[in-house]
Structures are given as C-alpha cells and as structure tokens.
Chains A and B, each alone.
Chain A
Amino acid sequence: AQTVTQSQPEMSVQEAETVTLSCTYDTSESDYYLFWYKQPPSRQMILVIRQEAYKQQNATENRFSVNFQKAAKSFSLKISDSQLGDAAMYFCAYRSAGGSQGNLIFGKGTKLSVKP
C-alpha cells in the first residue's frame, strides 16, 4: 500500500521569504500523480500544484514550485515570496494511475505560519 509522509508538523516563514515543505512517499508503482493541497482557516481544500510521475520537469505555478525526486520518492513544495495569505495547512497527496486511482492518499499535513 502507498503511504505519504510529511515530517514537518509546523513551519514558519517571514513574509517575502522562501520556504520549503517536505513530503516523501512510498510506492511500488511507476506511474502516479502527486499533489499539494492548501487548506486555509476556511477549511476549503484548494489544489496548489500537480506533478505527473512520468514527467522529469518539475511543475511550477506562479510562486509555487516542486522538487520532484522520483528515485528518492521525494516531493517538496517551495513557496517563494511568501504572503500572509499563504498561511494554511498544506497536504501532500498521492494518486495511483492504475487500478487504485479511486483513492487520494494524504499526508498528515504541515501547518505553515507566515510572519509579517
């Protein structure tokens, strides 16, 4: 079974600085998808970024980028020029591309605080 681990329960960053959130996963599959979701105090789950395992190029979305290391099974999220609105819980998630793709497997989350 696949697992997702986020080893940093809490992180803090100064406004305008850069922060990196860590995520590792375990799988025996070669084709899968990885995601970062943001959950602000409103509790809405918001998709931040998506990475296809077959793509070597790291995904980017504006100030958000990932460092995808397939061999190391690592998928970190870098937030550049941090803003107060980035304060939230961030969840790393895994989706199989095969028969078990009905499930999105989440890590336990990292709570990010942004200091003004």
Chain B
Amino acid sequence: DIVMTQTPLSSPVTLGQPASISCRSSQSLEHSDGNTYLSWLQQRPGQPPRLLIYKISNRFSGVPDRFSGSGAGTDFTLKISRVEAEDVGVYYCMQDTQFPLTFGGGTKVEIK
C-alpha cells in the first residue's frame, strides 16, 4: 500500500497569515494514464470531510481561492494564503493512483 505522510501534525497559525501542509507518498503518484490522483480534504470539527483540491491543484467548486495545491511525484503541498477562522480543522491528503486508496494521517490547523 502507498503510505501518505503529512507534516506537520499540527499548525498553529495567526489569522490572516499563511499556512502550508506537506504530504509525501511512499511511491510516485503519477498514474500510467499521465494523471496524478492526489487530493486534499478538509474536515471541520464535527463535520464530514469536504473536498478542497483534486489532481494536485484543481480547486473544487466553491472552494475559496486562498487554497492552492502543488507538487509532483511524491511531494505535495497545500497552501492557505491567509488563514481565516473558518479554516480551523484537520486537513488530509489522499491518493487514488494505486489500489487501495490511502489517506495521510491529517494535519490540524488551529488559530494561535
């Protein structure tokens, strides 16, 4: 199975400041079809997960443009340009390039 490793585990951020989350996979996530099936999900407290970014950098409908994704191969990053109070929660990376689908362990974003 592909192991997804996220850092940091926790990210205390001042409102209005940027935040960055790293996700590293144990194998390249580039599929034989040329796509890289790496996505990012947000889980607010007490809520189900919500899709933010798919295929590395595609922002899902309705997701604010302060969220951006980048990376390639085995190294990926989610950036929040200016953290707002509603961004508090846990963020997960997820790969669906190789069966079985696997998630990172999560990064908790909290306000300082």
Same assembly: no
